[in-house]
Chain A
C-alpha cells in the first residue's frame, strides 16, 4: 500500500479526496438508507459503552439520594421509636401505680420527683412537686408502688423535701412480716440497707419480708421496706447483721405518693 502511495503520491492523495468526497455525498444525499445504519453502527460501537456508564452514574446518584433520604427517615423513625418507648415505659409505670392502695386512714397524694441529692452512689433526699398548698406536712411517709421511700422533712409552698431510706440519718422501726420480730432499718454507706438491733437468737431467714412496724409514730405499720438478703451471726455478739434488699429502686425515683392522714 505504501509502495503504491510512494509511486503516485499526488494521485494517491487525490484518490483519497475523491473517496472522501464520494462518502460525503453519499451521506448527504443517500437518505436514511445510508445515514441511519451508519448512525446505528456508530452509536452501538462508540456511544453504547458510555451510555451504560452514564446510566450507571445516574442510577448511582439516584441510589445515593435515596440512601440519604432513607437515612434521614431512619434517624427520624429511631427518634420516634425512642419517644414511643419512653411513653410506653411511662404508661407501664403509671399503670402499676394504679394498683397502690393507701393504708386505712390515709389517702395518697401523687407527686413527681423534681430533683435528687446524692451522697455516694444512691440519692439521700429528693425534692417533689407537692408542698404546703397540697396539705403536705413534715413527717408524712412517702411510698411508691414498690414500698417505703422515706419521709417528708421540709415543706415549702409548692415543694417538699423527702428524706430517703438511703440517708444514713434515717431510721425506720421495722419488723419481720412473718415472725413479727422487730429491729431498726437504717442505711450504712459501706454496707447498704441493714436491719439493726436484731438479736442473734431471733427467727429470721433469707428472703423474709421486712415491713414498717408503725412504732415511732412516723411510718405507718405494714409498709414494705425490703427483703432479707444476707444474715451474719457473729459468735461473740448480741445482735446479728442483716443485710436487706430494698423494695424500692432508689436509683430510678420518678412518681411517688405521700401518705396523708384522712382527717387532716
Chain B
C-alpha cells in the first residue's frame, strides 16, 4: 500500500499547483503544465501500467473543476503516459536533454489536445501564443528538476559558487 503514497503526493502536488502556485508562476498568461510534466516523469522512471494509471488519475484531478472534460483529460494523460513509456524504451534517455525534449513534446501534445477538445476555432492562435510557450516554460522547469535529480547540480555546488 505504501508504494502508492508517492503517487498520491504527486496528485496532491497537481492540486496544490493548480490552487496555490499557478498564480505565482504564470508569466504573461503562460503557465507550467505540471500534470503533463509529472506524467512524463513517472513514465520515464516507472512501469507502463503505473504511467497509464497515474496519467488517468492526473487527468481526473486536473479536470476536477470541469467535470465535462474529465474523461478526455484522463484518457489523454493516460495515453501520454503509455506513449512516453514506449518512446523511453526506444530512445536513449541517458541525456537530460532528451528527457527535457520528451517533456516538451508531451506538454505540447497535451496543450494542443486540450485546445482541440475545448476551442477548435482558435487552434492556430493558441498554439503559437500558449501551447509552444507553455511547452518551453515547462521544459525549463523540468530541466532544472533533472539537474537536481541526476545530481548535476547540488546544494554544495551552489554554495561553492558563493
Contact = CB atoms under 8 A, between A and B. Distances in A.
Contacts of A24: 56, 71, 74-75, 78
A54 B65 contact: no
Interface string A22-51: 011111111010011011001100110011
Contact of A47 (B48, B64, B75): B64
B60 interface: yes
Contact of B78 (A20, A35, A46, A47): A20
A39 B67 contact: yes
A101 B49 CA distance: 106
A interface, by DSSP: helix, strand, loop or mixed? helix
A23 B19 contact: no
A53 B67 CA distance: 23
Interface string B47-86: 0110011001000110111011011101100100000000
A20 B67 contact: no
A28 B11 CA distance: 21
Contacts of A13: 48-49
A38 B68 CA distance: 11
B92 to A, nearest CB: 25
Given A27-B75, A57-B20, 14 more contacts: A16-B52, A24-B56, A36-B67, A38-B60, A38-B67, A39-B67, A42-B60, A46-B12, A46-B14, A50-B15, A50-B19, A51-B19, A53-B20, A54-B20
A27 B53 contact: no
Interface residues of A, number: 27
Contacts of B71: 24-30, 35
B16 interface: yes
Contacts of A36: 67
23 contacts: A13-B48, A16-B52, A16-B53, A20-B56, A20-B78, A21-B75, A23-B56, A26-B71, A28-B75, A36-B67, A38-B60, A38-B67, A39-B63, A39-B64, A42-B60, A42-B61, A42-B64, A47-B18, A47-B64, A47-B65, A50-B15, A50-B20, A54-B20
Contacts of A29: 71
